[in-house]
């Protein structure tokens, strides 16, 4: 798998940030080349094709929640339309009544809006065109280009042949136009059983392209549709409905994923053989694949239905809802889509790139906060018992306008258990008996004693002293400390639950094993819940979906499970790529990477 991982160049991001600001025609010769789709569209616009008009669509099937792969398609379709002064439609491809649901329609609309895109009043449904699509089918029959077939689904498959065996014509292929018209109307009127007859295009049973061997256009399916109810018992097939919906809407560039490349001749056949109002062009690009992730809606549905995750918006899911709940911003996802760019070949993107996009964006916008995930009590023995000092801390060093805040400091503190070692290993510079460190934003403290649980021997409390002249973090005598650790004041801290997430799968390609189902590779440690966390008091007023950098720990966001009395945070992403560090440590052998905070899930 490793050699299949292709992370696309960083210039794509630059291209994106430019392209949203400026129309494509303003590009200068020195700029990096356009991706192949934008290059094609630029050429089409320049040559006056479609009157210079650009219209795209995002065509989800409402049979599941959108995932990060869809986000790539959304950013592409809406992005291209905006850059070329065109429009992008939202079209629900709802031609399969059995699996579709209004719940999915609503979630898809929410997700596209959240990503920052707007289809205005252009919310369309393939089912709106059922009448027109039926009339087109009648047109094909009338021109001798479609026929009703009585073969069963199995027989049709058998007759279709294979890549090395040519297809065989159905005995019903040469029915008269009159008989076909009559049978098709009777199909529509519900006279025949589900699956007993289909309407097929009459193209070429010897075509090297299997999609052209008289593809099925309509099938009988008695299932209530979420929009048309019991109005229809015949439903158009995807290839037919998709091409014609594009043409009906005046789409100029129909962007879809590579698996439809072999379907393009059929797409074009539909357009060429019907009196459609416009002539869209289908262009294929490589779908987004991410390692350590499954992305097909069917697999995601399995995870939800089997209760292997908490729902479609479980923060470990690659769904837009999951990423949103995890704390990702729309900006970081759009940036990711731009950074992966567009390719004509299948490739696998490293999920670490997605995490990097979150870090880059949150670094700029997330306020800093002090939070202790695994608390260890510290008594500062020489600090007066009733004294409380305000320590002024910067809210965001990347954004001076975010200002500062005051955090209370007192005699009893919590620090991170990992920031103390009774017997410090080599290169461990944090607190240890007799050692001095700096507390973030304030004094040096020195560990002068350790209290242990009598039974377990576990360190339960540290006794420290502080040096009053080091306030602000420097010693007048010039002595140095090698570590700065974070803290919260015990009397002022607010309790919180913190949920730590790790990759949902332990292998790069969970769907790629011949023998074992993808669920066999679930990471048993993908969720870790810490219930005794202590956060600085200001966070009691954290807004819903508020995003923070817990200093030295990572980026965290308020989970919707939070209530007034109980704060819940999700770890969006660690500060650095801990997987890269683990892998590096493994390569370098034991002893390396000893600075880890151990916040892994
Ligand atoms: P899945 O295979 O995950 O079930 P799908 O292709 O069946 O997805 P649709 O609802 O038909 O899902 O997809 C809507 C649009 O999003 C289509 O144009 C499709 O090509 C595009 N799309 C789906 N998955 C990806 C992906 N991984 N990368 C890029 N585009 C995608
Ligand atoms: Mg699909």
Is the pLDDT at 181 greater than 80, yes or no?
A: yes
Q: What secondary structure does DSSP assign to 172-203, as a single string?
A: TTT--HHHHHHHHHHHHTT-S-TTS-EEEE--
* Ligand 1 close to Cβ of residue 251 (< 6 A): no
Question: Relative to the CA of 287, which ligand 1 atom is closest?
Answer: 28
Distance (angstroms) between ligand 1 centre and the Cα of 256 equals 8
pLDDT tens-digit series, residues 99-128: 878 899 999 999 999 999 999 999 999 999
- Please answer whether residues 274 and 244 qualify as being in contact, where contact means their C-beta atoms are separated by less than 8 angstroms: yes
Q: What secondary structure does DSSP assign to 9-44, as a single string?
A: PTHHHHHHHHHHHS-GGG--TTSPPPPHHHHHHHHH
pLDDT tens-digit series, residues 213-237: 999 999 999 999 999 999 999 999 9
Distance (angstroms) between ligand 1 centre and the Cα of 60 equals 7
* Ligand 1 close to Cβ of residue 301 (< 6 A): no
Distance (angstroms) between ligand 2 centre and the Cα of 94 equals 10
pLDDT band at 600 (very low <50, low <70, confident <90, very high): very low
Angle at 555 between CA 570 and CA 559, to 5 degrees: 25
What is the distance between the alpha carbons of residues 573 and 557, in angstroms, rounded to a whole number?
Answer: 10
pLDDT tens-digit series, residues 561-583: 999 889 999 999 999 876 666 66
* Ligand 1 close to Cβ of residue 61 (< 6 A): yes
Is the pLDDT at 192 greater than 80, yes or no?
A: yes
What is the distance between the alpha carbons of residues 341 and 142, in angstroms, rounded to a whole number?
Answer: 45
* Ligand 1 close to Cβ of residue 318 (< 6 A): no
- Please answer whether residues 469 and 478 qualify as being in contact, where contact means their C-beta atoms are separated by less than 8 angstroms: no
What is the distance between the alpha carbons of residues 411 and 124, in angstroms, rounded to a whole number?
Answer: 63
* Ligand 1 close to Cβ of residue 321 (< 6 A): no
pLDDT at residue 404, as a whole number: 98
Question: How is residue 229 annotated by DSSP?
Answer: B
- Please answer whether residues 214 and 201 qualify as being in contact, where contact means their C-beta atoms are separated by less than 8 angstroms: yes
Is the pLDDT at 497 greater than 70, yes or no?
A: yes
Interhelix angle 130-142/238-249, nearest 10 degrees: 110
pLDDT at residue 493, as a whole number: 98
pLDDT band at 592 (very low <50, low <70, confident <90, very high): very low
What is the distance between the alpha carbons of residues 210 and 196, in angstroms, rounded to a whole number?
Answer: 22
What is the distance between the alpha carbons of residues 537 and 369, in angstroms, rounded to a whole number?
Answer: 10
What is the distance between the alpha carbons of residues 53 and 556, in angstroms, rounded to a whole number?
Answer: 44
Ligand index nearest the alpha carbon of residue 93:
1
Question: Relative to the CA of 288, which ligand 1 atom is closest?
Answer: 28
Distance (angstroms) between ligand 1 centre and the Cα of 108 equals 12
pLDDT at residue 33, as a whole number: 76
What is the distance between the alpha carbons of residues 50 and 574, in angstroms, rounded to a whole number?
Answer: 48
Question: Relative to the CA of 298, which ligand 1 atom is closest?
Answer: 4
Mutate to test the pocket of ligand 1, among 62, 66, 69, 312 (most ligand atoms within 8 A of CB): 69
23-37, 326-340, 479-493, 541-555, range with the lowest pLDDT: 23-37
444-452: strand order across its sheet: 484-485, 436-439, 444-452, 459-466, 375-380, 412-416, 487-489
Is the pLDDT at 594 greater than 50, yes or no?
A: no
556, containing H or E segment: strand 554-558
Percent of the chain predicted with pLDDT > 90: 88
pLDDT at residue 30, as a whole number: 62
pLDDT at residue 434, as a whole number: 98
Give nearest CA residue, ligand 1 atom 25: 69
Is the pLDDT at 525 greater than 70, yes or no?
A: yes
- Please answer whether residues 430 and 478 qualify as being in contact, where contact means their C-beta atoms are separated by less than 8 angstroms: no
- Tell me how long the chain is: 601
Please give the average per-residue pLDDT across 536-550, as a whole number: 95
What is the Cα 579 distance to its own chain's centre?
Answer: 19
pLDDT at residue 6, as a whole number: 44
What is the distance between the alpha carbons of residues 124 and 85, in angstroms, rounded to a whole number?
Answer: 20
* Ligand 1 close to Cβ of residue 278 (< 6 A): no
Ligand index nearest the alpha carbon of residue 297:
1
- Could you list the active site residues? 61, 287, 297
pLDDT at residue 24, as a whole number: 53
Which residue in this structure is represented by tokens 């950074």?
Answer: 339
- Please answer whether residues 134 and 231 qualify as being in contact, where contact means their C-beta atoms are separated by less than 8 angstroms: no
pLDDT tens-digit series, residues 83-106: 999 999 999 999 999 887 889 999
Distance (angstroms) between ligand 2 centre and the Cα of 63 equals 9
Percent of the chain predicted with pLDDT > 70: 91
Is the pLDDT at 586 greater than 80, yes or no?
A: no
pLDDT at residue 593, as a whole number: 38
Ligand index nearest the alpha carbon of residue 77:
1
Beta bridge pairs of residue 220: 234
87-92: strand order across its sheet: 55-58, 87-92, 123-125
* Ligand 1 close to Cβ of residue 287 (< 6 A): yes
112, containing H or E segment: helix 102-114
* Ligand 1 close to Cβ of residue 70 (< 6 A): yes
pLDDT at residue 301, as a whole number: 96
pLDDT at residue 598, as a whole number: 34
Average pLDDT, the chain: 92
pLDDT at residue 101, as a whole number: 84
* Ligand 1 close to Cβ of residue 73 (< 6 A): yes
Cβ neighbours of 118 (radius 10 Å): 11
Instruction: Locate 444 and state its tokens.
Output: 């040096």
Mutate to test the pocket of ligand 1, among 35, 64, 70, 76 (most ligand atoms within 8 A of CB): 70
pLDDT tens-digit series, residues 422-474: 999 999 999 999 999 999 999 999 999 999 999 999 999 999 999 999 999 99
pLDDT at residue 98, as a whole number: 83
Is the pLDDT at 599 greater than 60, yes or no?
A: no
- Please answer whether residues 446 and 465 qualify as being in contact, where contact means their C-beta atoms are separated by less than 8 angstroms: yes
Which residue in this structure is represented by tokens 């306020």?
Answer: 367
């Amino acid at each position: 798998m490793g050699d299949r991982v292709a992370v696309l160049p960083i210039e794509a991001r630059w291209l994106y940030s430019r392209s949203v600001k400026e129309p494509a025609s303003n590009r200068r010769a020195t700029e990096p080349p356009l991706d192949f789709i934008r290059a094609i569209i630029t050429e089409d616009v320049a040559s006056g094709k479609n009157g210079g008009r650009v219209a795209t669509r995002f065509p989800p099937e409402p049979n599941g929640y959108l995932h990060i792969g869809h986000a790539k398609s959304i950013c592409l379709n809406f992005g291209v339309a905006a850059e070329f002064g065109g429009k992008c439609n939202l079209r629900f491809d709802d031609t399969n009544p059995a699996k579709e649901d209004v719940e999915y329609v609503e979630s898809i609309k929410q997700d596209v809006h959240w990503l920052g895109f707007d289809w205005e009043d252009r919310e369309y449904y393939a089912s709106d065109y059922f009448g027109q699509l039926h009339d087109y089918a009648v047109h094909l029959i009338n021109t001798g280009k479609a026929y009703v077939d009585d073969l069963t689904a199995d027989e049709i498959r058998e007759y279709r042949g294979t890549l090395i065996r040519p297809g065989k014509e159905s005995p019903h292929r040469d029915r008269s136009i009159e008989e076909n018209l009559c049978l098709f109307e009777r199909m529509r009127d519900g006279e025949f059983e589900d699956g007993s007859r289909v309407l097929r295009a009459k193209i070429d049973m010897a075509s090297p392209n299997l999609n052209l061997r008289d593809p099925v256009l309509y099938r009988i399916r008695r299932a209530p549709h979420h929009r048309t109810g019991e109005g229809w018992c015949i439903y158009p097939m995807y290839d037919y409905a998709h091409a014609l919906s594009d043409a009906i809407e005046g789409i100029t560039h129909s962007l879809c994923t590579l698996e439809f490349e072999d379907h393009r001749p059929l797409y074009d056949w539909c357009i060429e053989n019907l009196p459609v109002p416009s002539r869209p062009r289908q262009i294929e690009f490589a779908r987004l694949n991410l390692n350590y992730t499954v992305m097909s809606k069917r697999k995601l549905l399995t995870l939800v239905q089997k209760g292997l995750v908490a729902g479609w918006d479980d923060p470990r899911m690659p769904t837009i809802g999951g990423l949103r709940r995890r704390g990702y911003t729309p900006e970081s996802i759009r940036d990711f889509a731009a950074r992966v760019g567009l390719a004509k070949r299948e490739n696998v993107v490293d999920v670490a790139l997605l995490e990097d996009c979150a870090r880059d964006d949150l670094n700029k916008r997330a306020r800093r906060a002090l939070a202790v995930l695994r608390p260890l009590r510290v008594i500062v023995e020489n600090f007066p018992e009733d004294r409380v000092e305000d320590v002024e801390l910067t809210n965001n060093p990347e954004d001076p306008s975010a200002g500062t805040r005051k955090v209370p400091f007192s005699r009893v503190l919590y620090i991170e258990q990992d920031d103390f070692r009774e017997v410090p290993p080599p290169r461990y510079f944090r607190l240890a008996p007799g050692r001095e460190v700096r507390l973030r934003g304030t004094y040096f403290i020195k560990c002068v004693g350790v209290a242990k649980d009598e039974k377990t021997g576990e360190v339960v409390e540290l006794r420290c002293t502080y040096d009053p002249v080091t306030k602000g973090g420097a010693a007048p005598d010039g002595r140095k400390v090698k570590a700065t650790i974070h803290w919260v004041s015990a009397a002022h801290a607010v309790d919180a639950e913190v949920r730590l997430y790790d990759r949902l799968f332990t292998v790069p390609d969970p769907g790629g094993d011949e023998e074992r189902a993808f669920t066999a590779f679930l990471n048993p440690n993908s969720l870790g819940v810490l219930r005794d966390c202590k956060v600085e008091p200001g966070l009691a007023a954290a807004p819903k979906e508020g995003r923070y950098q817990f200093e030295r720990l990572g980026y965290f966001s308020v989970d919707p499970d939070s209530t007034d009395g109980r704060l819940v945070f999700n770890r969006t992403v660690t500060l650095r790529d801990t997987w890269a560090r683990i892998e590096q440590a493994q390569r370098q052998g034991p002893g390396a990477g000893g600075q880890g905070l151990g916040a892994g899930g």
